[in-house]
Amino acid sequence: MIPEGLDPALYFITDTALCGGPERVPHVVYEAVAGGAGIVQVRDKHADDAAFLALARACRDAVRRAEDALGRTAALVVNDRVGVAERLGLHVHVGQSDASLAVARRAVGPERMVGVSASTPEEVRAAAESGVADLVGIGPVWATPTKTDAAAPLGPEGLAALAGPARAAGLVAVGIGGIRTDRLSLLRGAGVDGICVVSAIAASENPRAAARELRAAAVGEGVLAAAGSAAPSARSEGAAS
Q: Which residues line the annotated binding site for Mg(2+)? A: 80, 98
Identify the DSSP state of 230: P
Residue 227: strand, helix, or coil: coil
Instruction: Please give the single-letter amino acid code of residue 174.
Output: V
Q: Which residue numbers belong to the known binding site?
A: 41-45, 79-80, 98, 117, 144-147, 178, 198-199
First CA to last CA distance, the chain: 12
Rounded CA-CA distance 142/195 in Å is 13
| Sequence-separated (6 or more) residues with CB below 8 Å from residue 164 | 191
| Sequence-separated (6 or more) residues with CB below 8 Å from residue 99 | 80, 82, 107
Q: Which stretch of DSSP H or E encloses residue 148?
A: none
